[in-house]
Structure 1
Amino acid sequence: MLQDSFGRRFYYLRLSVTDVCNFRCNYCLPDGFQCDKSIPEFLSLKEIGVYAKAFAALGTEKIRLTGGEPALRRELPEIIAQCKQTEGIKKVAVTTNGYNLPSVIDSWHDAGLDALNVSIDSLNPANFKKITGHDRLHKVLVGIERAQSLGVRSIKINAVLLKKDNASEIDQFIEWLKNKPVTLRFIELMQTGDNEAFFKKQHLSGALIIEELINKGWQPIIKAHDAGPAEEYWHPDFQGRVGVIRPYSKDFCKSCNRLRISALGKLHLCLFANQGIDLREYAQAGDAEQLSKAITGLIMNKTPSHLLHQGHSGMIQHLSMLGG
């Protein structure tokens, strides 16, 4: 089992397959994806297979495919299938903005998709367009309904908390869960290299939401060992669950169970690390064993915590770089 010097075990890999995103979310890429040079050569299907095999050999059980927007990789179904067929990998998930979800979810499901996370920052079409730059809320919701009808086991909706743009919709979001068997996760806005002014205007603490949930009878859920960072709650009168992700909370990193590989094959020991560590040579050589050995040595350099509370976001200029 992959374990760092603080005793944290890592069951969960977040693997970015592209940095490119087709949304213009005001908290991430308000001017859209910018590429000064030619788009770099992202990890190939073969290379992704080597990373999956190497991490599986170290006890990783869950792979989440992220971006940018992973649906922009036409071979995403093949990537899902390859990860799913890797011995030791029990769960394959995708995080998407849902732009073309109705037309692709069947192929993802057929490839072996176990879990789906979809970003929906507003349930109001006009506000959704204002935040994301796209009038696609209806399409996204249709895609989610299709995923449910196919039997995708785990569906989560991600909503970034924005004090001025969607805080007034929190009650509407929660009421939406009355008859929706999904998990809605409110995510605290995080400061990155290029959103400092926006962060100061829009950051809202998730602690306020947790306090309100508890006061209304919501009860905490014990985390699974491969679960993400959300604190989740259930209520007997609701089919859905509510999660809150609070990266600025005390001891947030104490239960960290995940590592990240960028679309260029770099290992990021933390989302907000100062740099990624290039391991692509092992993947290009098809050497999963040596890749596993390299990861095992590097994990001991993982720090006890990020430094977000000090305003330090490492190399992350925007969350599209590593899928958040």
Structure 2
Amino acid sequence: MLQDRFGRAVEYVRLSVTDRCDLRCSYCIPKGFKDFAEPEDWLTFAEIERVIGAFVRLGARRVRLTGGEPLLRRGVVDLAARLAALPGLRDLSVSTNGTQLARLAGPLKAAGVGRVNVSLDSLRRECMAEVTGCDSLPQVLDGLKAAKAAGLTPIKLNMVLLPGVNDQDVESMVAFCIEHGFILRLIEAMPMGDSGRSVGYLDAQGVLARLRARFDLRPQTVSLGGGPARYWATADGRFTLGVISPISQHFC
């Protein structure tokens, strides 16, 4: 079994299958950036299967496909099927910006993917265009509809908190998640690189306090995944909120 120096079992692996993305989010990719890795340098599917197979034999039980945008990797559904078939793997998930989900949600579910995390920073079309660099909201909403219809569950929406950009949209995102049965996760922007430092910082604790008072959120002791989010839920269980706060509450 893989263990860290505190004796904790390591059972969660995140696998980046490409660094390429079809969006240019303001907090992620610098304007004009084109220095992506060349495909011939990527691990092949056979190599990925071999590496993840080794992790599973060492006790990993959960694998998440990430990027860049992982659904841009040609043949990613076939890769998912190969990984889902590994004996001992219990949970295969995907983090995505949602632009490709409308066509791939069903095939991914059939291949063995159980759940998805989708980046969605606002329900306002103009705000999403500002953040992502293109008119992406209709594609993402279509992708969420397809993911829900395919039975991918739970669906978590990742919302990066951006001061003066989408801080006024949090309550509408909560209402949207209650309506559709999604989990909302609020993420503090990491000041990494010029892009991360330029978007500013919004303390998630202030937003959390606002939401706890309005929706009577209660802390949850059960983790909903292998990541660093802390979770709260309404008393009736209709809504769950996760907070990833690397600045205000260091999780490392």
- TM tier, smaller: over 0.9
36 and 48 in structure 1: CA distance in 2 versus 1, 3 angstrom threshold: closer
CA deviation after TM superposition for structure 1 residue 79, in Å: 1.2
In structure 2, the gaps of 5 or more residues are none
2:205 to 204, 207, 216: 207
Which AA in structure 2 matches 1:91?
Answer: D
65 and 36 in structure 1: CA distance in 2 versus 1, 3 angstrom threshold: closer
CA deviation after TM superposition for structure 1 residue 152, in Å: 1.1
Moved more, 86-95 or 241-250: 241-250
- Partner Cα separation in structure 2 for residue 87 and residue 120 of structure 1: 33
Pairwise CA RMSD: 1.9
Q: TM-score, normalised by structure 2?
A: 0.92
- Partner Cα separation in structure 2 for residue 29 and residue 100 of structure 1: 19
1:157 aligns with 157
CA deviation after TM superposition for structure 1 residue 2, in Å: 1.3
- Partner Cα separation in structure 2 for residue 147 and residue 109 of structure 1: 9
Q: Is the 8 A contact 2:30 2:194 kept in 1?
A: no
Percent sequence identity over aligned pairs: 36
1:276 aligns with none
Q: Does 1:167 align with 2:167?
A: yes
Q: Is the 8 A contact 2:28 2:196 kept in 1?
A: no
Give the 3-state SS of the residue equivalent to 2:228 in structure 1: coil
Which AA in structure 2 matches 1:89?
Answer: L
CA deviation after TM superposition for structure 1 residue 197, in Å: 4.1
- Partner Cα separation in structure 1 for residue 212 and residue 36 of structure 2: 48
Which AA in structure 1 matches 2:247?
Answer: Y
- Partner Cα separation in structure 2 for residue 85 and residue 21 of structure 1: 27
2:232 aligns with 233
1:27 aligns with 27
Alignment length (residue pairs): 251
In structure 1, the gaps of 5 or more residues are 254-324
Which AA in structure 1 matches 2:190?
Answer: M
- Partner Cα separation in structure 2 for residue 196 and residue 122 of structure 1: 18
Q: What aligned pairs does 1:128-277 form with structure 2 within 5 A after superposition?
A: 128-195=128-195, 197-199=197-199, 202-216=200-214, 217-224=216-223, 226-236=225-235, 239-253=238-252
71 and 37 in structure 1: CA distance in 2 versus 1, 3 angstrom threshold: closer
CA deviation after TM superposition for structure 1 residue 38, in Å: 4.6
Q: Does 1:6 align with 2:6?
A: yes
CA deviation after TM superposition for structure 1 residue 124, in Å: 0.3
Q: TM-score, normalised by structure 1?
A: 0.73
Q: Is the 8 A contact 2:95 2:116 kept in 1?
A: yes
CA displacement, residues 264-286 of structure 1 (integer Å, 9 cap, x when unaligned): xxxxxxxxxxxxxxxxxxxxxxx
Give the 3-state SS of the residue equivalent to 1:23 in structure 2: coil
Which AA in structure 2 matches 1:247?
Answer: P
Higher RCO (C-alpha 8 Å, min separation 6): 1
CA displacement, residues 34-60 of structure 1 (integer Å, 9 cap, x when unaligned): 127855521111011011111111111
Deviating 4+ runs (over 4 angstroms)? 36-40
